[in-house]
Amino acid sequence: MQMKSAFCFTFFFFIAISGILNLSQTPREVQIQKIDQQIQELQDKKRGFEARALRQENYAEYLQFDQKAVLETRRHLQLADENRAKAALVQLEIDKLVARKNRLK
């Protein structure tokens, strides 16, 4: 029983401390942190698209010497272009968030 009350006390203590720490941050700092998190997630997503594009392009280069795989080669090059276009769109979103973050500073 004593262990249960110690756990409850510790739990509520940490909740109180985290609440105090959150109050010490200004809303602007919180917004900047959220924007930084969104930027990081988008950069990871962009790297994924770029990696897929590179993988498709490498495979297309491998297939280009096979006369029977002309259509497959074209398809992989098309997929690479699509992934690069998606990465470019994600970069536009990142640029918007960076501009918004700079306005908040």
The answer to whether residue 58 sits within a structural domain is yes
In the chain, how many domains are there?
Answer: 1
Q: What is the pLDDT along the chain (105 residues), one digit of tens a residue?
A: 455 566 666 766 667 666 655 555 678 888 999 999 999 999 999 999 999 999 999 999 999 888 899 999 999 999 999 999 999 999 999 999 999 999 987
| The three-state (H, E, C) secondary structure of 3-49, written as one string | HHHHHHHHHHHHHHHHHHHHHHCCHHHHHHHHHHHHHHHHHHHHHHH
Which domain covers residue 35, as residue numbers? 26-104
The answer to whether residue 2 sits within a structural domain is no
- Quote the pLDDT of residue 96: 96
The answer to whether residue 21 sits within a structural domain is no
| pLDDT more than 90, % of the chain | 64
